[in-house]
Amino acid sequence: MKAYVSAEPRCALLWRVGPGTPGYGALELAARRFRLRLRAVGVQDLGARVGALCAGRPGKAAPLGVSAPALPALIVSGLRQDDGSLAQFLEQLQRGGANIPLRAMVTPTSRDWTLAELLNELAREHSALGGQG
């Protein structure tokens, strides 16, 4: 019997990143090259699971009082570290001038987190490493 391995959807969730963001054109080009679907997410999605958002399912509002950082974020699903595709994608963004301070790859753990949980964790890590914002 063959084991079934579910591939992560090829997606990039964009928090506070849009057409007016410096380097957005490079992001669009890189997404096309790596066959990533770009999905803008907002406050209406903060209560949704990251994996559900990457799979294209509708967002879910977070409970009252839940907030998320003001820093822009990029959450990538479907690229891998072991084959170099994630590093190549990020390098192309950097060369194109896209400076998105919070970046993450969807993992088996983080896909079950809400968008708010992941964004807040990324902001804590960024701050702990001396990031501004």
pLDDT tens for 74-110 read 999 999 999 999 999 999 999 999 989 999 999 999 9
- φ/ψ (deg, to 5) at 124: -65, -45
C-alpha span between 111 and 49 (Å, rounded): 6
Where the chain has pLDDT below 50, the residues are 1, 3-5
53, part of any domain:
yes
121, part of any domain:
yes
44, part of any domain:
yes
CB 115 within 8 A of CB 60: no
pTM attached to this predicted model: 0.90
5, part of any domain:
no
4, part of any domain:
no
Number of domains in the chain: 1
122, part of any domain:
yes
The residue range of the domain holding 16 is 11-128
Residue 132's pLDDT is: 59
Beta strands 102-105; 73-77: pairing state: parallel
3, part of any domain:
no
C-alpha span between 18 and 125 (Å, rounded): 23
